[in-house]
Chain A
Amino acid sequence: MNDQGTFWLPPAHSTVAAETDALFYFIYWISVLLFVGVVAATLFFFIRYRRRKSPDYTINPHNNTLEITWTVIPTILVFVVFIWGFRGYINLSIAPKDALEIKVTAQKWFWSFDYPAGATTVNELVVPVGKPVKLLASSQDVIHCFYVPEFRVKRDVLPNRYTILWFEATAVGDYQIFCAEYCGTKHSEMLAKVRVVTDVEYNAWLDANANIGAGLAPEEFGAKLYTGKACVTCHSVDGKPGTGPTFLGVFGHEVQLADGSKIVVDENYVRESILQPQAKVVAGYQPVMPTFQGILKDREIDALIAYIKTLKK
C-alpha cells in the first residue's frame, strides 16, 4: 500500500486504490518506453541523416512485416490494459453487500450526508476505517461529481437518479472531497472532508450526533451549525457581502427585498429564508440559495436564529 504518495499519485487510502495505481504505473512505464523510443529515433535520424548530396533510395517504403508488427504489438498491449482497467472498474462499481449505507446530497455548493441512525452532517463525511461504505448520491439541482483522490473514487451526482459509489478506507485521517463536475459560480469551493475514524469512535460519534447540541446554549449550538451546515460559505458574520447578505447586524433591522418591498428581519423571516430561500430575496442578491428543508431540524433552526441574534454591530 502506498501510504506516502509517489511523485505522480497521492497517498492511497482505500482498498481499491492499489489496483488502480498498479495499472497506472503499468501504462506509465509502457508510455515512457514508447515515448523515449520515438523521440530518440527521431533525434538520431535527424543527426545521422542530415541532408546529403546523394541520399540512399534503396529502402523499400513498403514493408508489411514491419507494419503488422507495430500494429499487433500495441494492440496486444492495449488489450491487456483494457482487461485490467475493466476488472478494476467492475470492482469499483459493485459494492459489497454488507456495506454501510450513507446518503449523499449535493447542491450548489455544498454536500450533505445522512447516516442510518438519523444524524446528518454538512461538508463532512464521517466513516469508520476498514468497513465498506456505500454512498447513495443524488443532486438537488445540476450535475455534481463526488471525488476523493486518496480513495481513487469518483462518481457523477445527478438530479434525476441515484448513483452509487463505494469505498473502504484503510487508514484513519482526514481526506479531501472535491466536486469534479463543473456546477457554477462556487464550483471551486464545493469542498468537503472525509473523516475516517476507528469503529469505536464512529459509533460514539453516531450516538453523540443523534442528539447533537445537547448541553450547549442555543447560540453556541447555532455558532457550530453556522460552520457545520455551511452557512459560512455564503453569509459572513463580519459585515462583508458574499454570495448572500452578511448576518452581522441584520436581526431586528429592515432590509429591502428584490421586489422593492421592505421587511423586518425577525424569527419568521429567518426561518422562511432557510426553508424557502427564494420566497423573499434581499435586493442585490441572486436567488441561488438552496433549501435546507429536511437538512435542518426545528431545534437547529432555532439555534441558528439565536446565534444570528447575537451578531450585533
Chain B
Amino acid sequence: MRLSNVVRLYRIRLRSRLVQEAFALAGIAIGVALLFASQVAASSLSGSVRQITGGIVGPMRLQLAARAPQGFSESLLGEVERLPGVSAALPVLELRVDLLGPAGGRTVDLLGADPRFAYLAGPLVRSFSTAQLAGLQALALPTPIARAIGVAPYEHVKLQIGSSAPSAAVGATIGAQDVGPLVDSPIALGPLRYVQLLSGMRGRVTNIFVRVRAGEDRQATSALARLAAARSLNLRPADFEATLFDQAAGPTNQSTLLFSAISALVGFLFAFNALLLTVAQRRGMVEDLRLDGYTSRMILEILLFDALALGLLASLVGLGFGELLSARLFNAKPGYLSLGFPVGTQRIVTWQSVALALLGGVLAATIGVFAPLRREMFAARAGAGAGAPLPARLRVLATIVLGVACLGVTTAILIAAPRDAIVGIVSLMVALLALLPVVVAGVVALLTRMRRFSSTVATHLAAIELRSRANRARALAVSATGAVAVFGSVAIQGAHANLQQGLDRLVRQLNASAQLLVIPPGEDNLLATTPFHPLKLAALRGVPGVHAVEPLRGSLLDYGNRRVWVIGAPAGQRAPVPPSQLLGGQLRTADTRLRAGGWAVISQALADEHHLRVGQSFLLPSPTPQRFRVAALITNLGWPPGAIILGAGDYARAWGSEDPSAYYVTLTPGVALTRVRAGLERVLGSRSGLVVESSRQRELRQRSASRQGLARLTEISWLVLIAAVLAMAAAMGSMIWQRRPQLADLKVDGFTRRQLWHALLLESAVLVGTGCTLGAAFGIFGQVLLSHALAVVTGFPVVFSTDASTALLSFLAVTAVAVAIVALPGHLAARARPAISLLE
C-alpha cells in the first residue's frame, strides 16, 4: 500500500476515536516518562560522581588511599616517587566538610592539592594555575556553591571540619566557562599546605595519585602493592571513587527501576484498556476493509501505522514529561549518599535512556493495538476445516487455569526468588486480568439471580447491559482499568510504606540507647563518622543528672567495592544490635560476643559478597587490619553499601586511635533533659566545636534524610495513584459517552431519566467495585512481593506488613472518582434526548 494512503486512512479514522486515542497516549506516555526519568536519575547520580572523579584525577592511573580520615604521613610521597615505573606522584588531602556562609551551608569535598596538579590532573583542578595553588592562602569554589552559601571572591567562609570550625578566604570562583558541567560538583579546592593548616592535619595526606610510565604498569603496580601492604593503605585505580559510588547507589537505582518498571506496566495496561474501549470500532474496520478486498498484509500495514503513530507520539510526549519529571521531581540527590560521596547535581541523559523509553513506548502501543485484534487479523477465511474456537466452558476453564498458574508462579517467586519481582508482578497482573472476567461474570450472574427478588427497573436494565455480548469488551476494559489502578497503587504505595516504616523503626532503635549525644555539628555527620579528640569524661560525667557517658566510634571504611559504615558500639550500650535488623544468628549471643571482643555483626549483603556465615572469621581492612568472627547478620542499617558493628574497644584497636565520633549520654531517671543538656553545653563551652543533640532531634534528622532518600519512590507511588485516578476517570467518562445512543434508545421505549441513571450507577458499581476489590486483593499480594524484593535486592530494613490501610485508601480514591464520574457526567448522559436514537 502507498504510505500516503495509509496516512490518509489513519487521519480519517483518528477523527472518530480521538478521545480514546488520547487516553491510550496518556497511559503509554506516563509509563515512558517514569522509565525515562528513573533512567536519567540513575545515570545522573553515577555520572556526576564519575565526572567529578575524572575531573580531579585526569590521566592518573593509580592511587594509594588512607583507610581512616586521619590520613597518612606525606613523607611517603618520596618513597612512592622512587618506585620503579612511577613517573609522577601527587599528594592530596581530601576531607568531607561543611561550608557555612551567610546564606546557608553546603557539604563539600575539600581538596588540598599539590601545585603540580595544575598541569597533571583533570580539568577541575587544572582551572587553578600553578601559582595559585602554590602561593594562595585561599579556597576556590564552584560558582553555584559560592552563590548558594552567599559568598563572593575575597570574602570569608566558615568551615566545619570535625569539631573545629576555622575560617577561610575565598580566592576565586570556578565557572561553567572554566570546567563545563563539572561546575555542579560539590567541591572546594585549595593549596595542600593551606588545607592541611585549616584542618589541623599538618604533614598528612589522604591519597597519593600515581602516574605510571608507559609499558611499566606491572612493575609499578607490584611495587605500589608492596608499599600499600606494609603501610596498611589501599592501592586502587585512581577513579575508584566512582566504582564505590556505583555500588552504593545500586540499591537506590534498583528500587527506583523496580518501581518505575511496575509503574510503566501499569501505564501500559491503562493504555491497553483505553484501546480496548475502541476495539469494537477497530474490529468493524478490519471486517469492512476485508470485505473491500484489503489483504491481511495491507490491514497489518494499516494497524502497524496506527501502533507506530500512537507509540512514537506517546513516547515523545512521555520523553517530554519524563524530562520534566527528572528535572523537577527526580533531581533530588539522595542526601544520605552525600554523607560518603561527592554527589553533583549534573543531569546526564544517555542515548540508551532515550532509546529504551522510545522502544518501550512503541512496543506497548504495538501490543495494545494488535493483541485484541489477533483473531480478526489472522482469520483469513472461516472454512469448515478452520480451527473452531474453544467452547465457552472450556475457554473459561482455560482462563481459570491460566490465572491460577500465574498466581502459583508469583507465589514461587515470592518464596524462592524475590529478586525476580518484576517477573512475579507481571505474572500477578496476568493472573488478575485472567481471573477478572470470570469474577465479573460471577458477580453479573449473582445480580441476574437477585433480579428475581428486586422489582426495580434499574436492576433489570443493569443486568441486561452487563450480560450483553456487544458491551463485553468495553465493560471488561472499565473493570480492568479499576483493577489495575487499585492493584498498582496498593502494590507500590504499600511496598513504599513498608520500606518507610522499616527505616523509621531502625532510626528509633538506633537512637534508643542514649537520651543525649555530644557530637560534631554538620549535616555530613548524620552517621557519626567524624572523629574528634577525646574529651575529659570526668567533667561530662560530673554534670548533675548524667548517669553515664560512653564514647561511640564510627567511620566509613572501603571494604572491597563497598564503602561500609563501621560502628564501634559503646561497651555499656543496652542493645548494640538493633533487634529488628537481625537477619541471621541470635540477638543475645551477638550482644554478648560484641562485648567480649573479637566478634563483628555484619550486613547480609557484605556476608554474601565475601561468602561469610555466622561463626566464620574474616580480615577487616581497617587502618590496623584485625581478624573478626561473624557474630550475626543484619540489614544494611539504611546505609546501602552495608554496615559492620564492632565493640568500641575492638574499633579502637582496628583504627589505632581512641578518637570518638560521639559520646552517648544516658540520664539518671526522672531528671529533666533540658537541664542536663544545658549543663553539658556549659561544660563543653563554645570552643569545643561540639554540640549536644537529643536522641529525638537526631531521630528526626535521620528520618528526614531517609525520607529524602526515598523521595523518588514516594513521587513514583503518588504518580501511579494519580495516573490510576485519571485513567479511571477517562475510562468511565468514555464509557458513559459511548452509551448515549443506547440510553436515548431506552428513552424512546419509555424509560425515565432517573431509571436510566440508577441503572448506569448500578452497572458501574458492579464493574468498578468488582475490578477494584480484586485489584486491592492482588495489590496486597504485590505489596508483599515488592517488600521482599526491596529487602533482598537492596538490603534495606523493610517491615513485612500487609497493612490494608493503603489498599483501602487506593480503593477509595479510585472508586470515589469512578462514582463521581458516573454521578455527574452519567447524570448528564442519562438526559440524552431520545432524538439521538432516532437520528442515528
Real complex partners, A and B?
no
Binding site for A on B (CB under 8 A): none
